[in-house]
Amino acid sequence: MNEIRVFSPATVSNVACGFDVLGFPLDSVGDEMVVRKTKAKGISISKIEGFDLPFDIYKNVASVSAMSLLEVAKPDFGFEIEIYKKIKPGSGIGSSGASASGSVYAINELLGRPFNKLELTEFAMKGEFIASKSEHADNIAPAIFGGFCLVKNLHPLNVLQLPTPTDLYAIILHPQIEIKTSESRKILPKMVPLSDVTKQLSDLGGLVHGLHTGNYNLIKSSLNDHIIEEYRSKLIPHFDIIKSKVLEAGALGCSISGSGPSIFALSKGNDLATEIELVFKSIYSKSNINFSTYISKISSSGVVTI
């Protein structure tokens, strides 16, 4: 095989109570990438469509991730990457994570799968660092592993896959404004009250147990952010009213996806998901901000060949 086309999913990270450690991929929105072998060694980017991204291989997260893999694999040929970008950079739904994950997955397939998913995650994290100025895997891991993923440790990397209840749906509101992860981290406090940490840990444990047992009531009572949301929500227009109305409509939970501006909600069943999407639309249609909405199941596979 000399060429491959892959779908790399958008992801929701943090998931309210799991700042920097929890995430899940969407199956209805993501990037596509074509990667092919070349006689010349190294990495090149031949095409980018959708959004304006750098062709400079040292500034593009897809190529930086790929080069990290090649430093270990050392093949006697190279790879050319085409990026069909459908996730807007700075969206809060894992745009950089999708690029990084897609490139390493594709190259690994063309090499005959010498690396496991944990190793691919480590390679992709090198690219993610270019975008966010920090090493984190809560977008990368779910994009590569699929399903809910808990990043138990970064060094050495340890990723735990969590079960996903079959009737769980994600609803995404993406305001068409940009919030850079590196900038949104600067507004976070350096210290937080111990009581808030205790609440957050309790909710994270409750959410993990709720996912394992399929207990939707426990999932609902656990989807709270006691540490981050208070600060980042100020950057997102109409966040407070949206969250209030979505919870009134019956959502299991609602919070910021990643560093924003996207907002996610979870629901039991597609019918309720459709109602929640209508709430998103009704509020933002009254503003002067362009927006997109998505309804998605949680992807069980992550990056896939198409």
Q: Over range 103-119, report the average pLDDT.
A: 99
Mean pLDDT of 67-80: 98
221's torsion region: left (phi>0), alpha (psi -120 to 50) or beta?
alpha
* Pair (17, 148) in one structural domain: yes
**Alpha-helical regions (H) of 23-132:** 61-73, 95-110, 117-132
Mean pLDDT of the chain: 96
Q: Lowest-pLDDT range, 23-32, 157-166, 176-185?
A: 176-185
Domain that holds residue 94: 3-162+301-305
Here the CATH number for the domain that contains residue 57 is 3.30.230.10
Span 242-254, mean pLDDT?
A: 98
Question: pLDDT-based confidence at 134, cuts 50/70/90?
Answer: confident
pLDDT at site 131: 82
How open is the CA angle 131-263-49, to the nearest 5 degrees? 45
Residue 133: per-residue pLDDT? 79
Given this model, what pLDDT does residue 158 score? 98
* CATH code at position 238: 3.30.70.890
Residues 276 and 130 in one domain: no
Share of the chain above pLDDT 90, in %: 92
Residues in CB range of 124: below 8 A, 6 or more apart: 65, 68, 97, 100, 101, 103, 104, 140, 143, 144
Residue 179: the pLDDT is: 76
pLDDT at 125: 96
Q: Which residues contact 31 (CB under 8 A, 6 or more apart)?
A: 7, 8, 50, 83, 84, 85, 86, 87, 95, 98, 99, 102
Query: Are 198 and 285 contained in the same domain?
Result: yes
pLDDT tens digit sequence for 267-305: 999 999 999 999 999 999 999 899 999 999 999 999 999
pLDDT tens digit string along 216-246?
999 999 999 999 999 999 999 999 999 999 9
Q: Over pLDDT 70: what percentage of the chain?
A: 100
Quick one: pLDDT at residue 301?
94
- Same domain (yes/no): 141, 290: no
| Mean of pLDDT values over 68-74 | 98
Which helix H or strand E contains 41, and what residues bound it?
none
pLDDT at 184: 78
Residue numbers annotated as active site? 128, 181
Cis peptide leading into 156, omega within 30 of 0? Answer: yes
Are residues 184 and 115 part of one domain? Answer: no
The answer on 228 and 207 residing in a single domain is yes
Same domain flag for 176 and 137: no
pLDDT tens, position by position, 87-106: 999 899 999 999 999 999 99
Q: Are residues 216 and 264 in the same domain?
A: yes
Q: Are both 48 and 188 inside the same structural domain?
A: no
Residue 91 shares a structural domain with residue 136: yes
Most distant CA pair in the chain, distance: 59
Task: Please check the confidence at residue 183 and state whether its pLDDT lies above 80.
Answer: no
Query: In degrees to the nearest 10, what's the CA dihedral of 137, 154, 260, 205?
Result: 100
d(C-alpha 144, C-alpha 155), whole Å: 18
Comparison of pLDDT for 80 and 133, the residue scoring more: 80
Token look-up 């009581």 returns 195
Q: Give the number of domains in the chain.
A: 2
Q: Which two tokens stand for residue 272?
A: 């309720």
Range of weakest confidence among 60-64, 112-116, 176-180: 176-180
Shared domain check, 230 and 119: no
Claim to verify: residue 238 and residue 145 sit in the same structural domain: no
pLDDT at 127 over 90: yes
Q: Do 78 and 116 meet the contact criterion of CB atoms below 8 Å apart?
A: no
